[in-house]
Amino acid sequence: MRYSLIYILLLICNISTAQTYKKVHFNSILVDTHNDFLSKAVDDHVVFDTDLKGITYSDLNRMREGGVKVQVWSIFCDDQYGKGSAFSYANKEIDSLYAICARNPTTMQIVYSYNDLMQAVKDHKLACMSGVEGGHMIEDNLDYIDSFYKRGVRYMTLSWNNSTSWSTSAQDETQHAFKVTPYGLNDFGKQVVKKMNQLGMMVDISHVGEKTFADVISTSTKPVIASHSSVYALCPVFRNLKDDQIRAIAKNGGVIQVNFFSGFIDSTFFKKVESFMNLHHVEHDSLVALKKPDYAIELYFQKKYKNEFEDMRPPLSMLMDHIDYIVKLVGVDYVGLGSDFDGIDSSPKGLDGVQDYPKITEELIKRGYSEKDIRKILGGNFLRVFKANQVGNPKHKA
C-alpha cells in the first residue's frame, strides 16, 4: 500500500508540474526572432499553411501548438546575390510573407509597431515581422533601408557570413578572408547604423565580426539585438558571442536571442559530423561526382543514416546551459530565443520543430526560474528592445 501511495503522489506531482509549465508557457508572449521558412517557401515551394511535419521545422498549425505569439521571419539570400539582384530577391521573400498572411487573415497579421504587435497578440493572431539577414541586400543604397522598413522589416543583420563593402563579417574577420582593411564599419556603415536608429529598425549584430561589433556599439544610440547567436565560452565558433560582447550588449540595453543550431551550442558537434563524413566518404564523393547539390547530399545522408544523425544531436540541456550562462554573466534581462529553425539542419534532441517550444519553458521551471523571469526570456526582453527602438508612429505599406 505504501508503494501505491508514493506512486499516486508522484503521478499527481507530475501532472501538476505539466499544468504549471503549460500555463506559464501559453500565458507568455513567446517571440522567436529568427526563422528561415520564407527561403523554403520561395526556393522549395512549400506552403506554410499546410501540414509540413517531417518536411520543415515550421508550419502554421505547429506554430499555434508551440505557443508562438510573435515571429520575426528571416529575409535571406547568400553572397551569390549582389547589386542588381539581392534587393529584388529579398522583396520576393517579403512578398511571400504578405501572401501567407493574406490567406490567413484570422490567424496571422503583419505588424509594424509595438502597439500593432500587442493588438495582434490580443486578437490571438500570429504577429509577423521580418528581419533582413545580410546588409548586402541594401546594395549600398540607403533608400533601400527605407523601402524595407515600410514593408515591415524591423531588423537588419549588418552582414551575413559574407562581408559587405561597409561591414566585415565574423567569418571574414576570423579567417582573414576579406581583403579590404581596416575591418569594421567604414563611414558608410556608420551611416547605415544611424539610418536604422532614425527609422526604428533594430541593428542586428549576429554574424558580424568583432571589429564591426565594437563599431556598432560605439555608433548606435538604440539597443541592439543578436537575433540568433549563442555563447562562445561554451561553444567556441566564430558565430558565437564572447563574454565581453555579451557584457557590451547588456550595457547597451540590448538582447541576445540564443540560436538552436547543434553546432553553435555543442562544442563537439562538428567533430562528430567530421567523423561521420570520413566514415562515409566514398558514398559522399560519388554523390559529389554526380553533381548533386549540397542540400540534396545532406538530405540523403540524414534519411539513410537517421539513427546516426540522431545520436549526433546534443541534449536540450546544452541549449539551456547557454541561456543560464548569459543570465549568470549579465542578468535575466538580456536573453531570448532566436531558433534559426528552417535555416539549420540539426537542433537539440526534443526540439524537432516549433511545436516543441513548451519544452523550453518546462526546463526553465526545472532550473528554478520564476514565472516573471521566464516571461522575459520567452519574449519580454525582446519586446522591451523593440519598443525602445520605435520612433513615433511608423508609416507602412505593402
Measured over all CA atoms, what is the biggest interatomic distance in the chain, rounded to whole angstroms?
Answer: 77
Residue 157 has phi, psi (to 5 degrees) of -80, 120
Q: Model confidence over 357-375: pLDDT tens digits?
A: 999 999 999 999 999 999 9
H or E element: which one contains 273?
Answer: helix 269-279
Cis status of the peptide bond prior to 394, with omega within 30 of 0? no
* Single-letter amino acid code for the residue at 239: R
The three-point CA angle 242-236-274 to 5° equals 160
The predicted pLDDT at position 18 comes to 57
Torsion of CA 103, 104, 108, 112, to 10 degrees: 30
Q: Model confidence over 61-93: pLDDT tens digits?
A: 999 999 999 999 999 999 888 889 999 999 999
Closest-CA residue to 137 (of 38, 256, 258, 261): 38
CA distances from 371 to 79, 109, 324 (A): 42, 27, 15
Torsion of CA 72, 95, 90, 188, to 10 degrees: -80
* Cα–Cα distance, 96 to 85 (Å, whole number): 17
DSSP helix/strand/coil, 31: strand
The three-point CA angle 151-156-161 to 5° equals 135
DSSP helix/strand/coil, 129: strand
The predicted pLDDT at position 346 comes to 93
* Single-letter amino acid code for the residue at 192: V
CB 207 within 8 A of CB 239: yes
The predicted pLDDT at position 309 comes to 86
CB 49 within 8 A of CB 100: yes
The predicted pLDDT at position 24 comes to 95
CB 192 within 8 A of CB 145: yes
Q: Model confidence over 10-20: pLDDT tens digits?
A: 555 554 555 58
* Residue 68: CA count within 13 A, CB half-sphere: 32
Q: What is the CA radius of gyration of the chain?
A: 21
The predicted pLDDT at position 394 comes to 44
Q: Model confidence over 154-187: pLDDT tens digits?
A: 999 999 999 999 999 999 999 876 666 589 999 9
pTM: 0.90
Q: Model confidence over 49-64: pLDDT tens digits?
A: 999 998 999 999 999 9
